[in-house]
Structure 1
Amino acid sequence: MGQATKMRILILSGNNISGPIPTSISNMLELMLLDLSSNRFSGNKFPMFNPNSLLLYADLSSNKLSGQVPTTFSLGIKVLLLSQNEFSHVLPQNLSNLNQLEYLDLHSNNIGGEIPNFLSQMSSLQILNLRNNSSQGSIPIHLSSLSTLQILDFSSNNLSEIIPHTLESLSRMINHHDVSSSISSNVTSQIIVIPENWFLIHTISIAKQTDLLLHDLEVFWKKLNRGLPNKNLKLYTFLDLSNNQFSGEIPNSSGGLKNLKSLNLSQNKLSGRIPLSFGGLQSLESIDISHNNLFGESPYTLANLFELSYLDLSNNKLEGRIPSGPQMDRMNDPNSYANNNGLCGMQIKVSCEKVPSHPKLKEERTKKRSWETWFSWNMA
C-alpha cells in the first residue's frame, strides 16, 4: 500500500469483499473518505488510525463486523456509519473522544446496556441513530444539551421509564438554524486512481460537494421505511422513540419543539391525555402516537397544525370529537382513529350526536343509582 498512502478517497462499496478489514488502510495518512459499505467484511479488529489523521468520513455499514463499536478513527471525523452489522456490548466511553462527529449511525446492531451520558459531550452531533438495538433503561436527561441535534432515533429498543421533560431543550428542534455539513469544505475536488494491486480499479472524479456521497438516511415515517435524501437532512428534525417501553404521560414540554417535522411515540405504554401543548408544534408534518394507553379527548389545539399531513391516533382509549381545522379535516383515514373508545367527527363520518355514552360511565351511573336507591330504602 506504499504508493497509496496519499490517496484521499477510497470507495469499495458493494463489492462482496470478505474477511477482516486490512489494517494497512490506516497507513493512508491523507485518507479523508473511506467507504467499505455493503460488503462481507467480518471480525472485531479495526485499523488504528492516527488520531490526527485527515479522515472525515467512514462508512462500514452493511457488513458482518462484530465486537464493540470501534473508536479507532481520527479525532476530527465528522461522519461515522456503522449500521447493519453485528456490533454488541455497550457503547465504549472513548467514543466521546470523537467529539467532532456530526452524523453517528449505529442502527440495526445488537448494542446493549443503557444509553450513556457521555453522548451529551459530543456537542457537534446533528444526527444520532440507535434504532433497532437492545439498549435499555432511560434516556439520559443531559442529552438535551446537544444544541445541534436535529434527528434523534431511539426506536425499537427496550427503553423504559418516562420520557424526560428536558427534551424540550433540544434547541435545534425549537429553532431553525442553517447548519451545513463541514465535510464538503474540507475535501477538495480531485481525480484518484486506486492501484491495480488493490481490490479493484476505480476512478473517481469528485466535482461536486462530497456530501453527495452520503447515503440517504433511512427513517420510519408515515408507517414506512423511507430514505431521506442527504441534501434534505438539514431541513428536517425528527424525534422517534417508538416501539419501546416508555410509560407515564407525554411531557407537556414536548409542545415547545416548534421546528420538529416528525414525532413518533407509537407502540409504548404511555398514558394520560394528549398535551394541549401539541398545538405549538408549528412545523409538524407527521405525528404517530398510536398503540398506547392515552385517554380523554383529542385536544382542540391540533387544529393549529397547518403543516400536518399524517396523523395516527389509533389503538388508544380516546373519545369525543376529533378537532376540526384546515388540515385536521383532511386527516380522514378511518385507520388513523381505529380502536378507540368513542371518537366522532366528520373525518370518520360519525356524528357526535349519535355517539353513545362511554360504557364505563353508564356503568358508574347505574351503580350510583342502585346505591342511592338502596340508601333511600334503608333510611325510610
Structure 2
Amino acid sequence: MLTGEPTAARAAGARPRPSPRAEIPRPLRIASEACARMLVIAAGFALLVFLVIELRVVVVPVAIAVLLSALLAPLVRWLHERRVPRGIATALVMVGGLAALGGLLTAVVSTLVDGTSQVVAEVTDNVGSLQGLADATPFRIDVGVLGDQVLQAVRDNQQTLTSGAVTTAATVGEILAGFALCLFALIFMLHDGRRIWGFVRLLAPRARRSRVDVAARRAFASLVGYVRATVLVAIVDAIGIGLGLWATGVPFVLPLAALVFLGAFVPIIGAVLTGAVAVLVALATEGPVTALIVLGVVLAVQQLESHVLQPVLMGRAVRLHPLAVALGVAVGVVVAGIAGALLAVPLLAVLTAAVRSLVASREVAPRAVDPLRPREANPPPALPG
C-alpha cells in the first residue's frame, strides 16, 4: 500500500512538491555558488600569506637564494661543461661571489668613513646657499634653526634611540640567521638543484608530472632571464649616475653608485628613492646648481632605462604588463615591505611562465620528463644543478 500511494497521487493529478533548489532562481544560485568558491579560494590565499609572513625569516632567505641561483647557475654549468667537477665549480662561484661582495662592502664602508669629515665641512659651508634657496620659497624656513632643532631632538631622545638600538639586536640576529640560511640553501641549489627538483616533482600527480616538469623549467628560464636583465639594467644605472656624480664633484660616488645598483632590483620604487638620495647629497654638499645637474643626470638615466633597457631586455625575458609590475610591487610593499617589493616581480614572472606552459596544448615533449637526464631532444631549459 505504501508503494502504491505515490502512484495513486500522481494518477489523481497531484503535482509533485518542488525541491528547495528549484525554488532559488538560477542566476542567484550560480552567483551564490561562485561567491562561495571565491570565499574558499580567498581563505586559502589568506592562510598562505599568513604563513609566509609568519615564516618570513625562512621564506625570504630561501626566495633570495632562488634568485641568486638563477644568476649563478649558468656560471656553475659553464664550468661543469668544461670538465670542472660540480662541487669545485660551486665552490669557485661561491667564493668568487663572496669575495666580490666583501670587496664592494669594504670599499663602500672605507669611503664613507674617510669622507664623513669632508662632507660635514661642505654641508656647513653650503648652509648659506641652502638658506638663500629656502628664502626664495614662499615658506619661512631657517635652515640653521632647523638643523639645530634636529640635533637637539637627537640629544633629547638619546635614551630612546639607545633602547631602540638594543631592541634591534634581535633584528640583527634575524638578518645574520637569514644570511646563513640563504648561503646554505644557495650552495645546495647550485650543487644539487636537479635532484632537489626531482624529489619535489614527485608531489605532482603522475599523469601531470611531465607537464609540471616542463612548466617548472620554463618558469626557471623566465627567472634566469629576469635576473640577468635586472643586473644589466642595474649596472647601466649605477655607471651612468656614478659618472654624473663624479663629473660634478659630489662625494660618496662609490656608495651612491652601489645604492643605485641595489635599488634597481626593486622596480619603480628603487630608482626613485636612490635617485632622490643622490640629489639630496648633491644639494647638501655642492649646492643647488650641482643638485639640478645631478637631477638631470638621474632623469636621463631613468628615461634610458624605461624607454630602451626595460623594453629590450625585460621584454624578452619577462612578458609582464607595466600595470602588473606596478600592482605587484605595491602589493609586495604592503604585505612584506622591502622584501615583498624585491620578490613581487620575480614571483609574477615565474607564475606567468608556469601558467602559460601549463595551459599550452603542445608544450610537453615525450622525452622531456626526467630532470636528471643529461641530454634530451628539444629539451626545455635546464634547472640549476
TM-score (structure 2 length as normaliser) = 0.23
Higher strand share: 1
Larger radius of gyration: 2
